[in-house]
């Protein structure tokens, strides 16, 4: 074996798994296709993670990375291409090589869900974005639409508003799903909220220029000019690699796990957003730690639960 354990993904769940695994005496490789931190890297502010009253996602990600590096050097910018079963465990194939391991923890998180309407792919990166903190600066003093109604959409809208942007939050229902505190902040900051409205298509020439909208009650359509649009309608769990191994998913497409983060495949565990649930940093960290300690059962190093 090259390593006893492979942790796939280095968001909060993967970082916690790596730290706990190494401290439990497990030879571990942590592989991340992008940067350590996962989704928190693009979070403007985090206010509900114990110990940090207010901290930017990038700062917290850097703290996580430095902590992880005290135990193991993460393999950043190394996408995992495939994982297959072997006689003794699993073979993990990446863009840079292959690794033989005895156990695997999936902490691959989730990616942004798209609206799948005309013009969305064409103007992605040309007026349409899925990350306000990444691209918001380019729309200062301009008019943008934020599509969605949950906490993520509210946070995006508030972040953009604080940049001096004219923000219109477009939601398909008659009330937002975001927490009350966010809704109150949206009202206080003067974010325009457009209820009962869906996006039909994105229009423009070389870049986004307007959005065709439809009122879900009257079916009336109208086209409104926008300089940009930020799509925030949820996440899709990154489960392709797990499915290839025969890991079971629930009805919403998330990996099924037991109380110890075990999947139905022996030696395979999952933690973090990929398992659904609350999808919070604190729960992801807890699941990552639990998965790492549970993996000792297939490594001959049973943790004394």
Residues noted as catalytic: 131, 134-135
183-199: b or e for each residue (b if 16 or more CB lie within 10 Å)? bebbeeeebebbbebbb
Cα separation, 31 vs 281, whole angstroms: 19
Residue 119 zone, left/alpha/beta (φ > 0; ψ -120 to 50; rest): left
**Rounded-to-integer distance, Cα 274 and Cα 98, Å:** 23
Q: Residues 6 or more apart from 108 whose CB is under 8 A from it?
A: 8, 9, 237, 238, 239, 241, 242, 274
Closest CA to 233 of 117, 146, 168, 298: 146
């Amino acid at each position: 074996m090259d390593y006893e354990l492979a942790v796939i993904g280095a968001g909060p769940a993967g970082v916690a798994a790596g730290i706990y695994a190494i401290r439990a005496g497990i030879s571990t490789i942590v592989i991340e296709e992008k940067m350590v931190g996962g989704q928190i890297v693009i979070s403007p502010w985090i206010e509900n993670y114990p110990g940090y009253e207010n901290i930017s996602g990038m700062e917290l990600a850097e703290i996580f990375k430095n902590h992880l590096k005290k135990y193991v050097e993460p393999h950043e910018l190394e996408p995992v291409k495939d994982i297959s079963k072997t006689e003794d465990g699993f073979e993990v194939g990446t863009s840079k090589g292959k690794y033989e391991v005895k156990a695997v923890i999936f902490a691959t998180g989730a990616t942004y869900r798209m609206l799948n309407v005309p013009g969305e792919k064409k103007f992605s990166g040309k007026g349409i974005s899925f990350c306000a903190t990444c691209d918001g600066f380019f729309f200062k003093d301009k008019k943008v639409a934020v599509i969605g109604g949950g906490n993520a959409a509210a946070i995006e809208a508030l972040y953009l508003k604080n940049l001096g942007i004219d923000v219109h939050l477009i939601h398909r229902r008659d009330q937002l799903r975001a927490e009350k505190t966010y809704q109150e902040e949206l009202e206080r900051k003067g974010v325009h909220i457009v209820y009962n409205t869906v996006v039909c298509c994105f229009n423009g020439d070389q870049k986004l220029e307007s959005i065709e909208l439809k009122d879900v009650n009257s079916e009336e359509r109208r086209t409104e000019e926008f300089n940009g649009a930020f799509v925030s309608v949820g996440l899709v769990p990154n489960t392709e690699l797990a499915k290839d191994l025969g890991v079971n998913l629930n009805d919403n497409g998330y990996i099924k796990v037991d109380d110890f983060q075990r999947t139905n495949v022996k030696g395979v565990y999952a933690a973090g957003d990929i398992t659904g649930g609350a999808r919070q940093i604190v729960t992801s960290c807890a699941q990552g730690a639990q998965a790492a300690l549970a993996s000792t059962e297939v490594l001959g190093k049973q943790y004394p639960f």
